[in-house]
Amino acid sequence: MMKKIKRLFISSFRWRLFINLIVTYIMTFLIYSALIIIFDNFNLLGMSIELRYFIAFIISLFLFLFIFFDLMNITLKYLSVLSGTIQEVTAGDYNVEAPIEYDDELGLLAANINALAKTLKDKEKESEILKENERLAFDAERNAEKQKNDLITNVAHDLRTPLTTIVGYLELIKNNEHLSKEDIQKYSTVAYEKAKKLQGMMDDLFEFTSLDKADVRVHMTTLNISELILQIVDEFYPTFQEHDLTPVINIAQPNLFIQGDGQLIARVFDNLLSNAVKYGQDGNDIKIEVLTDDQNVTIKIMNYGHPIAQEDLPYIFDKFYRSDASRSSSTGGTGLGLAIAKNIVQIHNGQIFATSHKEKTTFVVVLRKLQIQD
């Protein structure tokens, strides 16, 4: 492209030089002819014809040089502008634009300079985009590696405590032949409970990894979310009684429908209610509200207890995130329950978020309402 512009630059100069000569010659010839006519008709000084022709020639020659150099000065100034534009482009400034003042080879030269600047600017943008994509790919790869390492670290940490307990109690049973049946039963029960807890952690882990895949299969059906919430709350009654908690249910309409995977949606509210039981204060209410508007169904689950710190709220749906280490140690779990709920809600193109202040924490799930024609 630069070679083409150089050739155009030289040819444009030659072409403009030729044009200027022709224009100057024609103008001078006309002036010379006019002078001859004037001198022939108005010979006031009585000059000979040779002298008149000589004076007309001298005047015409002077005007020829004046006009030619004036035209060339205009051309050279324009070429200087184009040359400066070329230098700016070669220096890396692709935002410049050469003025197109002629409809000839000079104009073509200016157009080619602008085309070169645009091409280089586009290539620079493509290069920047390529570099940015490479950086993002590198960051994504590094982040994926970090997430994998974090996953291994967190899983190992969460599984170690119940495993240590199980191994400890089983070793007590194995190494002590004089244990009573009551002690054996007691230690076996503890080991069994820890094993069930371990199984629950593994189930959470496998479910989260399966939901985190892009090709997860969802079986969409028409769900009566009002009935589903009532059913899940009924299943939790023994747990509520164990913790001296009273469910307070407010459902705006008995028949509110959504499009979703029944098992996955049930898992969302199972996790949220489990979380409410874990962190709610014994003897208080757990409020469940199902509200609706023209487009959405909103489900709120509220528990009363120690609030979640405001700085922790944006992260509570991240996998393995725990806002309170001491509270986590007492309640157990993998820290995946809310992350699983978030993944499921996002798969259903819904929203999930939490608010917390004073002694009340509210989890809110918003799902698209399905209009059922009567």
> Along the 374 residues of the chain, how does pLDDT read in single tens digits?
555 555 655 666 667 677 778 888 888 888 888 877 777 777 656 677 777 778 888 888 888 888 888 877 877 777 777 777 777 777 777 777 877 776 666 677 777 777 777 888 888 888 888 888 888 888 878 876 776 666 666 667 667 767 888 888 888 888 887 788 888 888 888 888 878 877 776 776 776 666 665 556 778 999 999 999 999 999 998 888 888 888 999 998 889 999 999 988 998 998 899 888 888 765 578 999 999 998 999 999 998 877 888 888 888 888 766 665 434 444 455 567 888 889 889 989 999 999 988 778 999 999 999 887 65
Task: Please state, in angstroms and rounded to a whole number, the distance separating the CA atoms of residues 336 and 320.
Answer: 6
Answer whether 89's CB lies under 8 Å from 6's CB.
no
Look up the pTM and report it: 0.53
Residue 104 has φ and ψ, to the nearest 5°, of -145, -150
Highest CATH level, class, for 221-368:
alpha beta
Q: Looking up tokens 């995946």, which residue turns up?
A: 336
Q: 17-30 b/e with 16+ CB inside 10 Å = b?
A: eebbeeebeebbee
Q: Would you call 334 helix, strand, or coil by DSSP?
A: coil
Check for a shared fold between 149-211 and 221-368.
no
Q: Looking up tokens 């982040």, which residue turns up?
A: 143
Task: Please state, in angstroms and rounded to a whole number, the distance separating the CA atoms of residues 348 and 158.
Answer: 29
CATH of domain 149-211: 1.10.287.130
Residue 148: how many CA atoms within 13 Å on its side-chain side?
Answer: 6
Calculate the alpha carbon distances from 193 to 180, 196, 287 in Å: 20, 5, 29
Task: Please state, in angstroms and rounded to a whole number, the distance separating the CA atoms of residues 356 and 307.
Answer: 6
Token digits of residue 253: 């309409």
DSSP label of 97: -
Domain ranges of the chain: 2-123, 149-211, 221-368
Max distance between CA atoms of the chain, in angstroms, equals: 156
